Amino acid sequence: MDSNPLLKLKALGQSIWLDYIERGMFDSGELAHLIKRDGLAGITSNPAIFEKAITGHEDYDAEIARLARSARDATEMYETIVLEDIGHAADLFLPVYERTKTRDGYVSIEVSPHLAHDADKTVKQAIRLWERLHRPNIMIKVPGTHEGLPAVRDLIAKGINVNVTLLFGLARYRAVLEAWLSGLEDRAKAGNPLSSVASVASFFLSRIDVLVDKHLDAIVSKDPSAAAWRGTAAISYARRAYQIWKEMEKSERWRRLAVQGAQPQRLLWASTGTKDPAYSDVKYVEALIGPDTVNTLPPETLNAYRKHGDPAARLEQDLKQSDVTIAGLAKHGIDLETVAQQLEEEGVKKFIEPFDKLQAALEQRRRKHATASA
């Protein structure tokens, strides 16, 4: 039996995706190697990832110089570069998509973070990206904000695969399930097939612990017992989210859609890189292994798990303790739904900042080349 822990996760029903993309991975053959060796089954991207890739690697310089002479603005440059990478990755994952009968093999691209609170513009941009990429294994990432929910419903109804991102709380997760189910029902009423429409709900983890731990650290001098709750919030909340998913799976509403060929919307564990060095570097992998889930890992976490992961189905362990943890945090004045709202607002900003930074850098290059050629 293969000793690679990442392949054992696959056997336990969890798909492993990579939370990173950059052009050198294609040219070097690294991405193809990860698919073959580790069973890598998809990719997620976001504006921060692309800002890091494009500004941090020389692989893009020649194309940036070419686009600077021909593109109308930085937005056109950005989309051209990003769509090329996303399309290339999707082509590499197409055999996975076909082999898994559309369960995996997806590559996610996010709409502009500036549209997080505008459903109509989100839908318009999502349709445009979907049509430009023209591949069945693309997922459009839509922030799971209150305003993003109608966009999720509309896009699912239109047959566009959706990765609902920036989820931190259980109330919002329930609302996401409602939007997704309603989208499928709208599609079914219109007489359109359901089997080709895929979706994941990206529940962010480490950011929850970072913020909750900060609150705990602020009160530990007055209440030393608060220290015992450090690093417990995210996993507890994620395990409760999975129970919500299981409730949905047992519902008559879902069964009616499943009979028509609908695919379940899997929970995807995101923000899985450990940010506190006091915690295990595979903390957000080990505790959340379970069937019908996805874990998207940054390269460092992927490599760490390959080296010393210990795969076992743990997602439904200690469910009572999860409730105890949530109640214990509340007694210390920490309401996780309030935390979730704060993290959602911060999460949108954390994507806007690198998005704008990259746009500014590309615009500077464009003007430089325009001036040189004048």
CATH code, 29: 3.20.20.70
C-alpha neighbours within 13 Å on the C-beta side of residue 32: 8
Domain annotation covers residue 297: yes
* Amino acid 2: pLDDT: 67
Domain annotation covers residue 321: no
Span 62-73, average pLDDT:
88
Active site residue 141: yes
* Amino acid 68: pLDDT: 87
* Amino acid 147: pLDDT: 97
Q: Which residues of 342-364 are buried (b: 16+ CB within 10 A; e: fewer)?
A: ebbeebbebbbebbeebbebbbe
Span 292-306, average pLDDT:
98
Domain that holds residue 130: 5-206+236-316+338-367
Domain annotation covers residue 230: no
* Amino acid 1: pLDDT: 45
Question: Strand locations in 155-261, DSSP E?
Answer: 162-167, 199-204
| Beta-strand relationship, 293-297 and 266-270 | parallel
Domain annotation covers residue 131: yes
C-alpha neighbours within 13 Å on the C-beta side of residue 302: 23
By the 8 A CB rule, do 295 and 269 touch? yes
Looking at the predicted structure, is the pLDDT value of residue 49 above 70? yes
Our count of domains for the chain comes to: 1
* Amino acid 373: pLDDT: 63
Domain annotation covers residue 231: no
Domain annotation covers residue 331: no
Residue 202 has phi, psi (to 5 degrees) of -90, 105
Q: How confident is the model at residue 294 (pLDDT cuts 50, 70, 90)?
A: very high
Span 256-267, average pLDDT:
98
Domain annotation covers residue 261: yes
pLDDT, tens digit, for every residue of 37-47? 999 999 999 99
Span 178-206, average pLDDT:
98
Looking at the predicted structure, is the pLDDT value of residue 161 above 80? yes
pLDDT, tens digit, for every residue of 212-247? 999 999 999 999 999 999 999 999 999 999 999 999
Q: CA 286 to CA 267: how far, in whole Å?
A: 16
Which listed residue (141, 214, 275, 320) is catalytic?
Answer: 141
* Amino acid 72: pLDDT: 85
pLDDT, tens digit, for every residue of 331-369? 999 999 999 999 999 999 999 999 999 999 888 888 887
Domain annotation covers residue 213: no
